[in-house]
Amino acid sequence: MGVGSFINDSRRILKLATKPSRTELWTSTKISLLAMVLVGALSFIIQVIMTLITSNWGTTAT
């Protein structure tokens, strides 16, 4: 694949690409925000569980 072929392919892709509509952009934004919230919540839950599990580690039981 030469440089000329790459430039031609890039031009063709740019001609076919269209700007997303407002509704497409808003839907994509909502999905991204929902995914970030879900990953953050899952991370928080795992952190709390691991803190509860390991809170007594390193102490000697007598």
pLDDT tens digits, one per residue of 26-40: 999 999 999 999 999
Answer yes or no: is 44 within a domain.
yes
How far apart (Å, rounded) are the C-alpha atoms in residues 51 and 36? 22
Residue 19, domain member (yes or no): no
Asked if residue 8 is part of any domain, the answer here is: no
Domain total in the chain: 1
Helix (H, G, I), strand (E, B) or coil at 2: coil
Domain that holds residue 44: 24-53
Does 18 have pLDDT greater than 80?
yes
Average pLDDT over residues 35-60: 91
CA dist., res. 46 & res. 37, Å (int): 14
Pick the residue with more confidence: 59 or 6?
6
Place 44 in a pLDDT band, splitting at 50, 70 and 90.
very high
Report, as an integer, the average pLDDT of 49-57.
Answer: 88
Has residue 62 got a pLDDT over 70? no
28 Cβ contact partners less than 8 Å away, ≥ 6 residues apart: 20
In a domain, 45, yes or no: yes
Amino acid code (one letter) for 52: L
